[in-house]
Amino acid sequence: MSKVSIIVNVYGIDSTVIPHLTDWAPKSRDRGWINGSGKPMANREVLESMLALYEQLAGKVKLHNEGLPLDESALF
């Protein structure tokens, strides 16, 4: 039996979400969830959950901060 690989494209993501998940949140985790001014990160529990889910699905999900691509074959 062959293994099928599926990538899910998610469009319309706010432009700050992608850098949060790919850069800022991992760095914050490495610093113990302390922000640049030495204080605990606001909304840490949300960021931790989002980062864990993103890292679990990173090979299966591609995030896009632009809108859906145009489908030139669509009738309307």
Asked whether residue 58 is domain-assigned, the answer is yes
Asked whether residue 1 is domain-assigned, the answer is no
Q: What is the pLDDT of residues 1-58, one digit of tens each?
A: 667 778 888 887 788 888 888 888 999 999 999 988 899 998 999 989 989 998 998 8
Asked whether residue 74 is domain-assigned, the answer is no
Asked whether residue 55 is domain-assigned, the answer is yes
Q: Considering just the CA atoms, what is the radius of gyration of the chain in Å?
A: 17
Query: For tokens 């914050």, what's the residue?
Result: 28
Q: Which two tokens stand for residue 33?
A: 């969830």
pLDDT at 18: 84
Question: Using CA atoms, how far apart are residues 76 and 22, in angstroms rounded to an integer?
Answer: 36
> Residue 20, Cα to own-chain centre: how many angstroms?
7
Could you list the residue range(s) of the whole structural domain that residue 38 is in? 12-63
Asked whether residue 3 is domain-assigned, the answer is no
Asked whether residue 39 is domain-assigned, the answer is yes
Asked whether residue 31 is domain-assigned, the answer is yes
What is the count of structural domains for the chain? 1
Asked whether residue 6 is domain-assigned, the answer is no
- Our separate counts of H helices and E strands in the chain read 3, 2
